[in-house]
Chains A and B, each alone.
Chain A
Amino acid sequence: MNNQPIVRIGAKIMIPFIMLFALYVQFHGDFGPGGGFQAGVIFAASLILYAIIYDVEEARKIVHPWALNIFLGLGIILYAGTGIAGIFLGGNFLDYNVLAHDPVHGQHLGILLVELGVGITVTCAMTIIFFIFARQEH
């Protein structure tokens, strides 16, 4: 769609807002609807939009595939790592109470971290899946 200036400019304006919204959904999930998964999907949507407008190979230059692969796993490791941190701090696996001095704070921190992990993995996974589909040849 390189020859559609309106679409291109419109997208250019929209993409940052979508990303911002994703961040909002990510961190506001504790209070209202939303959370890591939804945020991840929305964030991925912004990248997908970029790829649709500017071609996948262009998008690949912006988000490097290696980075995608690494972050794809990093989300899980962050999640499981938070759980394992619980073990090292004297609790059970995924026990957030021990993460901070106060159990409620610990829970807060833990949930934040794991939601972030979910968000990262989902973003990367969705982006990867779409990019791969998009660059297939007929």
Chain B
Amino acid sequence: MIDFYINITLLSFLVLTAIAITRVRNLFSVVMLSGMYSLLTAAMFVMLDAVDVAFTEAAVGAGISTVLMLATMALVGEKEAAPKKRFSLLPITIVLITGLVVVYGTSDMPNFGDPAAAIHNHVADVYIAESGVKTGLPNIVTSVLASYRGYDTLGETTVIFTAAVAVMVLLGSLIHPKKREDEE
């Protein structure tokens, strides 16, 4: 039962953080809050048995992303202007509809954690049953990531590569000695 309470607590904190992010207008606080959000998410992932994901989320979400956003903020300033537009119904509508559709979709799903759900009994069961024998690795996530779905991971690596190249494109490559950007 302790799991249950931890779970509830974490989720409540997540909601609070998310709402705080929408309200706060100091970007520095927002970035910090989003780092917190990532850490809470990571903790949540641990609760849900996704240790690899938790590790990654902690390293990326709370680490790299936060550092990156801080670096950005150092360059662009940290104050968000007060909303100039009148309160508009459109965003609320879009968000509500999206939320309702997700609720609609999830409410027909098997209960949370239900071992009989289709998701656990079609593809994943085979991974659990045979990956240890076929790859010799105890970490199923690693064997699925690198071998069964190794192609996805190749793509993922390429995505990171693309991001690095894109940043070079936008802000100038490291190779060139430091100088002011030539665009302006």
So, do A and B actually touch in the complex, CB under 8 Å?
yes
The chain A residues found within 8 Å of chain B, CB to CB, are 29-35, 37-38, 41-42, 44-45, 48, 57, 60, 65-66, 68-69, 72-73, 75-76, 79-80, 83, 93-94, 96, 103-105, 107-108, 110-111, 114-115, 117-118, 121-122, 124-126, 128-138
Question: Does B127 make an interface contact (CB < 8 A)?
Answer: no
- How near does chain A come to B178, taking the closest CB pair, in angstroms? 6
Specify which of A42, A75, A108 is in contact with B137 (CB 8 Å cutoff). Answer: A108
Residues of B contacting A: mostly: helix
- Given the complex, which residues of B lie within 8 Å of A104, measured CB to CB? 133-136
The chain B residues found within 8 Å of chain A, CB to CB, are 51-52, 54-56, 59-60, 63-64, 67-68, 71-72, 74-75, 133-139, 141-143, 145-147, 150-151, 153-154, 156-158, 160-161, 163-164, 167-168, 171-175, 178, 180
Complex Cα gap A93–B133 (Å): 21
Complex Cα gap A122–B63 (Å): 14
- Given the complex, which residues of A lie within 8 Å of B74, measured CB to CB? 138
11 A-B pairs whose Cβ atoms sit less than 8 Å apart in the complex: A31-B137, A31-B138, A41-B59, A45-B64, A94-B150, A108-B135, A129-B164, A132-B171, A135-B174, A138-B74, A138-B75
Closest to A35 in B: B142
- Given the complex, which residues of B lie within 8 Å of A83, measured CB to CB? 150, 154
- Given the complex, which residues of B lie within 8 Å of A128, measured CB to CB? 164, 167-168, 174
- Given the complex, which residues of A lie within 8 Å of B156, measured CB to CB? 37, 118
